[in-house]
A and B are shown apart, each in its own frame.
Chain A
């Protein structure tokens, strides 16, 4: 057990946890932010995607000890009122079915657009390939991302 101070959504949190505890469980169980989901625990599904600075990372396999000073952003911190352009696009396209994978999808897409504000369809497909949706919302996710890309 060790003390860590991490920055989440602009706030500082002090936690006392073992160093191998993945960020996912720190967020969910210790800090109480439930928008980040568990799906596989092995970086295979993307349900747990958050940002570390501007990078999308799978929080289920990221030990707390390697978070350091970097700023963690979760879905709760993406926008205050749910009005990030992607959240609005997700609403306009009625993307979610069960909704479980969607916070991870949105966080992954947000990081993708930061890096590449004008992705081609194929780049979206490749960039989103790490996020599974069992309900099958891939077409709408793609349309929603395309609708907020720079050239749209």
Chain B
């Protein structure tokens, strides 16, 4: 494994659009297999996967081909885990091209960094990074088709246009389908950069509309292929008994009972990572039971007797650590941001608030638990996996088996949910190791218990915010302390503070106009594997900040929405650079291209106030809460209404979101991400993973509770701001503001502030 970090928004190369287009050479053409069925083929050579890649001449990352039969084939190189990206990016290309969407075929790319550039589907950045390159690919192909047609008809290129898969010259009535033109078009040189023109926004027919996902029919018929659905001849199924405590090692094991179970063929030890700092890419140590079917493998695993040396984390108790973390916020931490001449707030006795906020560990709980299929034969390895990050899976498997990277192929299936879990390649490496050892195809199947016990968890956290008012009742100072075991600590035990990247998720980028601000982090250790989960540290940072703001508004006797508008100040572009001690990550984007604009936030705040009928709701005595939070460069404001039914159950009649994500490319999928985001966040607000004696206490959905239909918000309204700004992602931004908006609504109902998650309802 090289030392490259795989935390997308933290170490992501600055995304400049350095894409260029090329026509693959004959050789390249042949390599493309099924795509190269004749016709026009355009590769996009994208250079957005890191400065080190800059010099590479051929790093195409998306291919488009148009067949003589009019089929437009577009390769989806990002993983589909429910956001709709596999539909949305091809849709952009197709729209710019003027294709007939009904004739578009989408093919999923294998994991190949050289060919496709970055494929790590994470950090809500697919649309941000690939909107323009996709348009460029479409516009280039369109240009060539127009040119081919104009030559044939002997008319000017500018007089021709593409529409529904054909080129049209309206004044002469000439018309030719793409398929009829591809032969001519593919003989042409690629147009120069200057010749490529994008359509005016108003001419788009797919962008900005509700477009159904490509896999819809296959999904509702049960024909879509997810991870565990791949089946190979003679394949064995492996279920693994993994170290119950991170850092444990195997002293010995007795396989005799497991071997007696009909169908069990073999029991093998996986050494995995040793000791603490297990790393993000290695499997845990374990004992695998390989059988002819899943049931035999599960029973075999349950019959194993493994003798563990539990190691140094066997004392780990999450409640205990949380208490220590909370205690640490009483002292001085490491300053990460400072504004003004910060003085401790006890000067302002009686005019200040000092509150602490606790949030627990979370597991991802994708309904599809991890599964991967490996087939090793003759020094070559082929993998199938529901992976968010096929390239990392490829590298990690190649390293584990000591194979040259080109001998490893990763096929990406649909993902039954990802949320960050399936970017880690540990489960894929398990399959690779076992297939090599058995000389046969192997499917590694995680059970639900395995998934909850051996996740890369979202960190638990303790925060403290002290805020004071000046003589006129305005907020004068804001001192935010945050402490949580860092993602980096999973591979480096010396990493005791959250990274700049993690701090940049909702803490460093605190946008409010308060004269004195200080942000401090405190030390904590990771005693389990920490990873990223949908919106990452934004979850706990937004919880603390937006709940505290609500309480400050109450103290000041002003409306919380009015307060946020006041604190955002005039419409302006904020700058953080001078106040921040480390890097201001800005989600990997250059700040001048994606700055923090208060006007855009005020706009969504006003929109949500108006659409939710905030003033009326308050007057009518409804229990309604508000929060606003920008994350992943998308501006979001949210209101949540709560009540109790006759049996005393919590009901959420209504959620309103207002969102400014620039151009909303597929409006239906923007809405679905917010509808789902509210439900996902509600589950986070009401569930927790806890550790005792180093072991996770929750075993299945009976203990790690995901909300069910009766608990879901009855209505979630999503108000999308019409915009032609650069598009930003929506996978994660719905999550952070929901939890504090809910807490603030519950306070209205119960009179009790919520300082600790999970909420007890």
**Contact mask B651-673 → A, CB, 8 Å, 1/0?**
00000000000000000100011
Question: Is B597 part of the binding interface, using a Cβ–Cβ cutoff of 8 Å?
Answer: no
Q: Residue A139 contacts which of B221, B683, B716 (CB distance < 8 angstroms)?
A: B716
Q: Are B368 and A100 in contact (CB under 8 A)?
A: yes
Q: Are B216 and A132 in contact (CB under 8 A)?
A: no
Distance to closest chain B CB from A38 (angstroms): 7
Q: Known contacts A137-B676, A139-B716; is A1 also within 8 Å of B262 by CB?
A: yes
The A-contacting residues of B in range 112-163, CB under 8 angstroms, are none
Q: When chains A and B are docked, how far (Å) is the Cα of A138 from the Cα of B679?
A: 8
**Contact mask B541-577 → A, CB, 8 Å, 1/0?**
0000000000000000000000000000000000000
Nearest residue, chain B, Cβ from A100: B416
Q: Residue A129 contacts which of B83, B212, B296, B708 (CB distance < 8 angstroms)?
A: B708
What does DSSP make chain A's interface, helix, strand, loop or mixed? Answer: loop
Q: Known contacts A35-B223, A44-B700, A82-B221; is A134 also within 8 Å of B448 by CB?
A: no
Question: Is A21 part of the binding interface, using a Cβ–Cβ cutoff of 8 Å?
Answer: yes
Question: Is B415 part of the binding interface, using a Cβ–Cβ cutoff of 8 Å?
Answer: yes
Q: Are A136 and B216 in contact (CB under 8 A)?
A: no
Q: Are B224 and A99 in contact (CB under 8 A)?
A: yes
Nearest residue, chain A, Cβ from B223: A35
Q: Are A94 and B668 in contact (CB under 8 A)?
A: yes
Interface size grouping (class) on chain B:
35 or more
Q: When chains A and B are docked, how far (Å) is the Cα of A134 from the Cα of B710?
A: 14
Question: Is A47 part of the binding interface, using a Cβ–Cβ cutoff of 8 Å?
Answer: yes
Q: Are B672 and A97 in contact (CB under 8 A)?
A: yes
Q: Are B295 and A99 in contact (CB under 8 A)?
A: no
Q: Residue A134 contacts which of B219, B220, B447, B706 (CB distance < 8 angstroms)?
A: B706
Q: Are A91 and B220 in contact (CB under 8 A)?
A: yes
Q: Are B228 and A99 in contact (CB under 8 A)?
A: no
Q: Are A136 and B700 in contact (CB under 8 A)?
A: no
B residues neighboring A (CB under 8 Å): 80-84, 210, 212-213, 215-217, 219-226, 228-229, 231, 237, 262-263, 293-296, 298, 365-369, 414-419, 445, 447-448, 668, 672-673, 675-680, 683, 700-702, 706, 708-710, 712-716
Interface size grouping (class) on chain A:
35 or more
In the complex, what residues of B have CB within 8 A of residue A82's CB?
217, 220-221
Q: Residue B226 contacts which of A29, A37, A44, A130 (CB distance < 8 angstroms)?
A: A37
Nearest residue, chain B, Cβ from A129: B708
Q: Known contacts A40-B448, A132-B706, A140-B675; is A101 also within 8 Å of B221 by CB?
A: no
Q: Are A38 and B213 in contact (CB under 8 A)?
A: no
Q: Are A37 and B212 in contact (CB under 8 A)?
A: no
**Contact mask A81-103 → B, CB, 8 Å, 1/0?**
01000010011001111111111
In the complex, what residues of B have CB within 8 A of residue A28's CB?
228, 294
The B-contacting residues of A in range 28-52, CB under 8 angstroms, are 28-30, 32-42, 44-45, 47
Q: Residue B700 contacts which of A40, A74, A95, A96 (CB distance < 8 angstroms)?
A: A40
Q: Would you give 28 A-B contacts (Cβ < 8 Å), ordered by A?
A: A18-B263, A25-B295, A28-B228, A28-B294, A34-B225, A34-B229, A38-B369, A40-B448, A40-B700, A41-B700, A45-B367, A47-B367, A91-B217, A94-B668, A96-B215, A99-B82, A100-B414, A100-B416, A128-B708, A130-B708, A132-B701, A134-B365, A134-B366, A134-B680, A134-B706, A138-B708, A139-B715, A139-B716
